Amino acid sequence: MHVLTSRSSCQIIPGFRVRIIPVLGTIPAIFGQFMASYVVTELAGVHVQTEPVVNFDMDHYHTLHQRLIEHEESVYGTSTEVLIDVEEVMYIVKELWNGRSAREKHVKDVGRGMWRSVNELMLVRWDSTKPASISNLILLKFKEVDEHESRTLDDIKENEPEFYSRVTAVLKRAELDFGL
């Protein structure tokens, strides 16, 4: 009978743990599937933009909701037209705007940079004549808010047609998702 003197005497490769063997096959498989789908979509002419994982904690969403309420009170004198709660803020930030300003076309910050960027963001009305609802809120950086609120939608539509159509498409998606 063989007696084990130490764990290392049973290892095939020094420092290699047997219990991680099941993990080794799945990670390359996932990577391979991603690369294959990327190649197929590129060959088909369908350009897919991958989305970063937005993983803010609830404190971030509470902060964005509170900023919205404070902004509504300072600009419109009341926050009674804020028709969303924190869960809907989470939907707007995560699903509609991917944690980024509506003015950003390309992904710049990921990871910690993305977390830092939420400290510069706030929700504002797209159309100032309508209440602050899921289908009328956009995510902007602080420095972009004043410029946005000083312009009319007609002005944006005329001078920035690409931005206007991109935002209206996103807000239309919110209407469809919520049946508005």
Domain ranges of the chain: 7-43, 58-178
Q: Using DSSP, state whether 35 is helix, strand or coil.
A: helix
Q: Using DSSP, state whether 121 is helix, strand or coil.
A: strand
Place of tokens 């009328």: 136
Q: What tens-digit pLDDT sequence spans the chain (180 residues)?
A: 556 566 666 666 666 666 666 666 677 788 888 889 989 999 998 877 666 566 678 888 999 999 999 999 999 888 888 889 999 999 998 888 888 888 887 655 555 555 556 788 999 999 999 998 999 999 999 999 999 999 999 999 999 999 999 999 999 999 998 877
**CA 2/CA 50 separation, integer angstroms:** 54
Cα–Cα distances (Å) from 4 to 7, 9, 11, 21, 105, in that order, read: 7, 7, 12, 22, 60
Length of the chain: 180
Bridge partners, residue 138, by sequence: 124
